[in-house]
Amino acid sequence: MKNGKKWGLLFLVLVALTVFAVVSQSENFSFAQFQDTLKHSSPGWMLAAAVSMAGFIFFEGMAILCILRVFGYQKGFGRGFLYSAADIYFSSITPSATGGQPASAYFMMKDEIPGAVVTISLVANMIMYTLALLTVGTAGMALRHELFFHFHLPSRIFIALGYVILWGLAIAFCMLIVKPRILERICLFFLRLGKKIRLIKNESQKRKAVYHAMKEYRQCAAVMADHKFIFVMAFLFNLLQRISQITVTFFVYLAIGGKVKTAIDIWFVQGFVAVGTYSVPIPGGMGVADYLLLDGLGNFMEEAGAVNLELISRGLSFYVCMAVSAFTVFLGMFCIMKKKRGSKK
């Protein structure tokens, strides 16, 4: 609980600093002008942006559900939305998104899905999640490479580093499925480390548990090897998830009166930004994502307009998305506690 409060406080501090840094980028920016931009924006396009934001949560949930079905676990859309929301919310408030997968796993295991199935399903989804983002970034390089060179040098370095990190993650996650022995060695390493620093007792008993869990994990990996089509489905859902997130900025730009031709270029700019945010292990890429997007938007509009677009689109695609995810997670926790109380009566 204390750690949760610390991460929550850190998150709020980062939000305040990020907003301050963004509005400071333009001498002509004013909150009155920002409110006027919102007031005169197109409700239809803003609604499309909100739906696109919700798609970011929905499509990840669909990817997880289609992987689970390979193992015979048929869960409804609502459960998939919850698994995804847990991942997104805790990824947003923890460094390097370290809290997302454990939070998603918690709800999956509460639904009586075995740990080995949960682990391999989330690893497989992370592979497809990473490859989907790389696909978007590669498409940007192939179709609008000139936009990459419109970024200033520091931004180009962030984006290039993001590509390197994403490829490294994709290869590492693939190895965890193709070579389960690697995951076993990692688990045993941390087991030995825990014993050495006296955090873990009964090391031999826990070692047996690791071997048992890895046996189940290998069986799950074999099942997935016989259903290769599931990787294609999971990839397509993750690609739709990435497209949904990036398209928020596209719709917001149209909502404030932008032209479609320029909006398409801005869509590719946002794709580069999504890659670049992985270059720094900050919760939600806060600060980095804002800096990169402002830099990219500077080629299409004046500073004040770029700040308005950045604040609105980032507010929807990240902060509102996180709020929706948080509400979903707390609703999920409430249902679990209610179920526990009911079982005790």
84-103: average pLDDT: 81
Is 97:166 a contact under the CB 8 Å cutoff? no
The answer to whether residue 3 is domain-embedded is no
Out of 51-55, 273-277, 287-291, pick the least confident. Answer: 287-291
Check the CA dihedral 66-67-72-76 and report its sign: negative
The answer to whether residue 333 is domain-embedded is yes
- The angle at the Cα of 120, spanning 339 to 167, to the nearest 5 degrees, equals 125
pLDDT at 305: 83
d(CA 83, CA 124): 15
Is 121:67 a contact under the CB 8 Å cutoff? yes
pLDDT at 141: 93
pTM of the model: 0.84
The answer to whether residue 95 is domain-embedded is yes
The answer to whether residue 8 is domain-embedded is no
The answer to whether residue 101 is domain-embedded is yes
The answer to whether residue 13 is domain-embedded is no
160 is in which domain, residue-wise?
41-344
47-55: average pLDDT: 96
d(CA 177, CA 344): 40
pLDDT at 206: 79
Stronger pLDDT, 182 or 293, i.e. the higher one: 293
Could you identify the residue written with the tokens 């989804």? 125
Between the alpha carbon of residue 125 and those of residues 119, 155, 199, 208, 317, the distances in Å are 10, 28, 31, 27, 21
Evaluate if residue 6 carries a pLDDT over 80: no
The answer to whether residue 25 is domain-embedded is no
Tell me the pLDDT tens digit for each residue of 119-174: 889 988 988 999 999 999 999 999 999 999 999 999 999 999 999 999 988 888 88
The answer to whether residue 29 is domain-embedded is no
Q: How many structural domains are present in the chain?
A: 1
Question: H helices of 179-257, where?
Answer: 180-196, 203-225, 229-255
Evaluate if residue 280 carries a pLDDT over 60: yes
